[in-house]
Structure 1
Amino acid sequence: MLERLNDAMAHVERHLDRPVGADELARIALTSEYHFRRMFSALAGMPLSEYLRRRRLTVAGAEVLAGERTLLDIAVRYGYGSGEACARAFRALHGVGPGEARRTGAALRSQPRMAFRLVVEGSTTMQYRIVAKDEFRVVGKKVRVPLVYEGANPAVVEFVRGLGTATVRRIQELSDQEPEGIVAVCDDLDPSRTEGTELDYYHAVVTDAPVPADLDALTVPAGTWAVFANTGPYPQALQTLWADVFAQWFPSNPYRSRPGPEILRTRPTPDGTTATSELWLPVERTPV
């Protein structure tokens, strides 16, 4: 998988002067567009669209300093409809406009070319299982929140705090299958997965029980799930688990991610310093 990802990155480099779509790169990587976006953002630490923007502006910056093309020619070459649009994007990355950069020979920022490699560390073993589930419902309370990559999500913390003990207990009583008990469910994420974009967050349970009128519900079609478990310092161990799933597990196993909600079951110790977590991700077998 990583070799094919690198083939896609080489394709990007050959075509920085024209639009390159995620669907095009996914075909080169022999996977789905959904999985390609997920893999790239997890491994690169940024959305694909942001990487493409930075790489184009990095190469455009070199051409600005070289002085062989007009600024308008450079803007058009790298996909901007006007010199003004290019100048705004250029300044956002480099901290200086293209005209000033050319006049003064300013130092510019650079987004290095991305390449991926698998680092095998034999000191840890990832615990996982594959589960086939029939259609089920996620039932609880839902809120629309911004995506936050590191640390606690303040919007989620405030939302859960406001639910009240009685409501949470009533939701928990509806749990009738695994993952058991209260779970955190994320759904309807923006395809770019850019930090700050919004998603649906459910403080809920997985159930087949009838849905009370005052609760929110999400019907999840039948499908296959990869379930990853770990125990350790919270939330550091959980954040490491997320990274390892995409950096280690997916490249080494015949599965790819598919559209669907992501479900997290976390059981912290009384002092909150450590936790046992189960991460449920919707997957499908990679076509041979």
Structure 2
Amino acid sequence: MIAHLNRLVELVEDDLAADIDLVALASKLGTTEYHLRRMFSSLAGMPLSEYVRRRRMTVAAADVLGDGDLLGIAVRYGYGSAEAFGRAFRAVHSAGPGVVRRDGGPLRTQPQLRFRLTVEGNSPMDTRITSQNAFRLVGHSARVPLIHEGINPHIQALIASLPRDEHSRLKKLSDTEPAGLLQVSADVDPDYSEGSELTYLHGVAVSEEVVIPRDLDVIEVAAGEWAVFGATGPYPQTLQSTWAATATDWFPSNPWRLRPGPSIVTVLDRAEDFRTATTELWLPVERA
């Protein structure tokens, strides 16, 4: 996977004005566009589209500081007008091309990325692979923004709005793995951009035979394999660290890749104040 990401970076550098055909590239590399995007954003800390924009504007800054026509520069970097180029330039450098040409700055540089696998070996991951038949996730859902660190207040608000006895009703419906009350993230942006919207569902997993009450939302889940990561410690920090480590440590070292589907968290045990918890993170995977 590390070699694939570095090849992607090389293609970006080969022609900063071009849009890369990720589907064709992923097929050539023996992986999928979905997995390539998710691994890039997880390891780089930004979506591929944002990295490309930053690199374009980093290189374009040298041309802006020259005496060439700004429209010509805009076209050279793939923009149809000086105005569109100016907006992209300003978003990266916090100043327009005209100001930078006059004052010599400010400039914000995005170095070229190089991905490397660092082997530490001091943090073994509690992981298992399990195969699941098709099942359904049922409960209460809402569209919420993606937040990478800390508690998501939009999710907290959804859970707080549920009647106290609703959790017991949901638990009684559960008849398959993952067991218990679940925190489900579905329809996630492949670039995993912070602030992008996803569907969050607070509910349980049920088999296809269960009759679902009409007031509950449903997410259909196809049969397939899952990587299950255990985590124990401060909540939600330990869970979020485990999630990050799947990209930095586990996927680069194992013959599996993400496939489209919901990610699921089940809380196996927790302190009364929920400051610490034992959780499992379920991610849909397939052999790479």
Q: Would the TM-score normalized by the shorter structure come out above 0.5?
A: yes
The aligned amino acid for 2:152 is N
The aligned residue for residue 281 of structure 1 is 283
SS of residue matched to 2:18? coil
The aligned residue for residue 160 of structure 1 is 159
**Is the aligned partner of 1:234 residue 2:232?**
no
Counterparts of residues 183-262 of structure 1 (less than 5 Å) = 183-208=182-207, 209-262=210-263
Counterparts of residues 73-84 of structure 1 (less than 5 Å) = 73-84=72-83
How many corresponding residue pairs? Answer: 285
Counterparts of residues 11-90 of structure 1 (less than 5 Å) = 11-27=11-27, 29-67=29-67, 69-90=68-89
Cα 1:49/1:118, change in 2 over 3 Å: same
Cα 1:130/1:279, change in 2 over 3 Å: same
Cα 1:214/1:205, change in 2 over 3 Å: same
CA shift, 1:240, in A, is: 1.2
Match of 1:269 among 268, 271, 279: 271
Q: Is the contact between residue 95 and residue 106 of structure 2 (CA under 8 Å) also seen in structure 1?
A: no
CA shift, 1:28, in A, is: 5.3
The aligned amino acid for 2:38 is R
CA shift, 1:192, in A, is: 3.1
CA shift, 1:4, in A, is: 2.2
CA RMSD in angstroms comes to: 1.4
The aligned residue for residue 178 of structure 1 is 177
In the aligned structure 1, how far is the partner of 2:79 from the partner of 2:43? 28
Could you give the per-residue CA deviations for residues 48-103 of structure 1, whole angstroms, max 9, x where no partner exists? Answer: 11111111111111221133x32111111111110011111111110111011112
The aligned residue for residue 9 of structure 2 is 9
In the aligned structure 2, how far is the partner of 1:109 from the partner of 1:186? 34
Q: Is the contact between residue 182 and residue 203 of structure 1 (CA under 8 Å) also seen in structure 2?
A: yes
In the aligned structure 2, how far is the partner of 1:121 from the partner of 1:247? 11
SS of residue matched to 2:108? coil
Q: Is the contact between residue 64 and residue 73 of structure 2 (CA under 8 Å) also seen in structure 1?
A: yes
Q: Which structure 2 residue ranges, 5 or more long, are not aligned? A: none
Structure 2-normalised TM-score?
0.95
CA shift, 1:26, in A, is: 2.5
CA shift, 1:24, in A, is: 4.3
Q: Is the contact between residue 135 and residue 220 of structure 2 (CA under 8 Å) also seen in structure 1?
A: yes
In the aligned structure 2, how far is the partner of 1:200 from the partner of 1:259? 14
In the aligned structure 2, how far is the partner of 1:71 from the partner of 1:27? 37
Structure 1-normalised TM-score?
0.95
In the aligned structure 2, how far is the partner of 1:118 from the partner of 1:269? 35
SS of residue matched to 1:100? helix
